[in-house]
Amino acid sequence: MDDFKSIKVERIEKNGKKELIIHNPTTLKLIGEGSQGAVFQLDEDICVKIYVNPNAATKEGKALEAAKETHIVPRLYEVGPNYVIMEYLKGPNLKDYLKGKQDIPESITEQIIMIRKELKRVGFIRIKTSIGHFVVTKGNVLKAIDHSDGLTMNDPYNPKMFRDLKKLGLLDTFLEQAKKIDPESYEDWQKNIDFNAI
C-alpha cells in the first residue's frame, strides 16, 4: 500500500495555463485530479490524495478532522507530508448527477443547505461547495470533498456553487426550494450574494 509514496505531482505553467503533471510509476488507478493534486484508489473503500503543495495536505487533514463528527466529509485515515489517506466515496459528483435534469430534487437542495450549515458550525470559514465537490453516494446521500482551504481562507459566500447551478439552468429552482426549506439561509444569501453578477 505504501507504493503510492513514489507518485509525484507537480504543477507547471504551459502556454500561460497551469497544468498538473503526474508521475505515477505504480499500478494505482487515478480517480481524480484538480489544481491541488491527484487522487488514487488504494482499495475498494480507501483513496489517497497526493498534493503539489505539502501545506495543502496538512490543511486538508485538519479540515477533515474538524468535520469528522458530521459524517458529511470522507473519513480521514492518515495525513502524510504530501498526502491524505481518506475514505473513497463511490458515486458521481453532483454536477454530473444533475446534468440533463430538468429539476433538482428537493432532497438534494435540503442536503446542500445542511452541509453548508454544518461546515460553518464546525468552524469552516470558506464554504466553497462547488457542485463538483459533492459526491452523490448510496441512497442519494451527499458528501462534500476538497476542503484544504476550509479553515484558513475567509470566503463564507463563495458563489461557485450558485454559478454551477445557473449554468445547468437549476439555480432558480434551487433558490425557490431553499426559500421554503430554510428561509434563514435563503435570506442570508440574498443579502450577501449578487445573483445578477453570477
Domain that holds residue 121: 94-192
Per-residue pLDDT band for 156 (boundaries 50, 70, 90) equals confident
Report pLDDT for 163. Answer: 94
pLDDT exceeds 70 at position 1: no
**Average pLDDT of the chain?**
93
The candidate with the shortest Cα–Cα distance to 131, out of 163, 88, 89, 91, is 163
Whether 197 maps to a domain, the answer reads no
Integer Cα distance of 186 and 81 in angstroms: 40
Same domain, 23 and 110: no
The candidate with the shortest Cα–Cα distance to 130, out of 158, 102, 171, is 158
- Whole-model pTM: value is 0.90
Same domain, 78 and 147: no
Whether 198 maps to a domain, the answer reads no
Integer Cα distance of 110 and 149 in angstroms: 24
Same domain, 66 and 128: no
- The tally of CA atoms less than 13 A away on the side-chain side of residue 132 is 8
Q: Which residues contact 31 (CB under 8 A, 6 or more apart)?
A: 39, 40, 41, 47, 88
Three-class SS state of 180: helix
